[in-house]
Amino acid sequence: MRDGWDKSAISQRPYVWVRGMTAGAQRYASLWSGDIKPNFDEMKMQISGMQLAGLSGFPYWGHDAGGFYDWDAKQGPDADLYRQWAMGFGAFAPIWKPHGMGPSRWPLDRGAGEQDAARQFAQARYQLMPYIYSAAHEAAASGLPMARAMLLDYPHDDAAWSHDLQYMWGPSLLVAPRTSRDDATEVWLPAGGWYDFWQPQAPQQVAAGGTVISVGAERGLLPVFVKAGAILPRQDYTTSTAGADKRRMLLDIYTGASGSALLQEDDDVSEAYRKQGRLMTTAIRWDDAHRSLSIGAAHGSYRGAPSQRSWRLTLHGAGAGTCYSVNGKRFSATLDSSGQRATLQLPPASLRGATRIAPCR
């Protein structure tokens, strides 16, 4: 099917998904886990199954988020499952597909609390699309999963091998869905600094060996943590990836450790990235010791690529100042009420030049 598509519609990227595949088929299609029941035991199996698929070479994995249908009870997901699974976990999976029989999965057909959850998680996912898309490119190039078992990133930590109901979403986000009716869930944090994704003030410092914490996850709140040193490229929220303005980018830097990121972009719709190498990459580095950020010159291009871009930088963590030097020019940042987060808006500049940001001297 994929080979036939390549010959008949060379300009458009296909979307092929298959219920059952064998090794090697990941080159042609995404994997779907099949019809599943809407209950927390099934949700646990889907979280583990997603990680096992990634470890087996299938990075593009999808499922019926929230469960397809319970043929015995004749029902779909209730409000709690809808918030925590169909919207929460579903939005932090490679393919988000809240699909099934029974009650509608469309947010506007659900209750107010479910609509709030849908709005929150949709905004988070679509704002994170540059980060997610870069992880998808990495998966295509190297096979490294988008959703990674903890043991993949922390193979020498014994605890990583036993916490299979949480995972790394890309290189920097740790996701731990609540998988029961309880209002809290246990999360294992590896050694280092970790920020709460939803309330990123000061990071929680974890000693060597890691620690297990109890996190409140009532009313559909999905526990997500950000690793210190993370660089998250984001975009303004749009209801479709087609509406994203690539001339403007948001960049969140989580201080407390040095880190790097590779932003990977293409035209989003064609096979030119694969067949003609039409891909643009931007290397970004954070030096925590010197509190400096380097945004490298963009390499490569693609049809419709912007020539200029404005960056809105947000530095999370203690020590954020208000005066920054950007390629030798002074700019003022805005601190939030906690004093833990500084936001700096840069004017449009050529993507072919590098940018260095550091505190004023």
pLDDT at residue 87 is higher than 80 = yes
Give the whole-number percent of the chain exceeding pLDDT 70.
Answer: 94
Environment class of 84 (CB within 10 Å of its CB; exposed 0-12, middle 13-18, buried 19+): buried
Helix/strand/coil for 197: coil
Q: What is the pLDDT of residue 73?
A: 67
Closest CA to 311 of 349, 285, 258: 349
Q: What is the pLDDT of residue 271?
A: 86
Which one-letter DSSP state was computed for residue 94?
S
Residues near 228 by beta carbon (within 8 Å), at least 6 away in sequence: 192, 193, 194, 195, 203, 254, 255, 256, 257, 259, 317
CA distances from 42 to 45, 52, 296 (A): 5, 15, 44
Q: What is the pLDDT of residues 25-68, one digit of tens each?
A: 787 788 888 888 899 999 999 999 999 999 999 999 999 999 88
Fold of 231-359: Immunoglobulin-like (2.60.40)
**Cα-flanking dihedrals φ and ψ of residue 133, to 5°?**
-65, -35
Helix/strand/coil for 5: helix
Residue 45 one-letter amino acid? M
Same CATH topology for 2-141 and 142-227: the answer is no
More confidently predicted of 182 and 319: 182
Distance CA 201, CA 199 (A): 6
Residue 135 one-letter amino acid? A
Q: What is the pLDDT of residues 4-16, one digit of tens each?
A: 666 666 678 888 8
pLDDT at residue 140 is higher than 80 = yes
- In the chain, where are the structural domains located? 2-141, 142-227, 231-359
**Mean pLDDT across the chain:** 91
The mean pLDDT of 239-250, rounded to a whole number, is 92
Q: What is the pLDDT of residues 185-214, one digit of tens each?
A: 999 999 999 999 998 776 777 877 789 999
**Cα-flanking dihedrals φ and ψ of residue 220, to 5°?**
85, 5
Residue 2 one-letter amino acid? R
Fold of 2-141: TIM Barrel (3.20.20)
Helix or strand run (H / E) with residue 36: none
Q: What is the pLDDT of residue 17?
A: 81
Q: What is the pLDDT of residue 316?
A: 92
CATH says 142-227 is which class? mainly beta
Give the pLDDT band (50/70/90) at residue 1.
low
Q: What is the pLDDT of residue 8?
A: 64
Query: Do 229 and 254 contact (CB within 8 A), yes or no?
Result: yes
Q: What is the pLDDT of residue 112?
A: 94
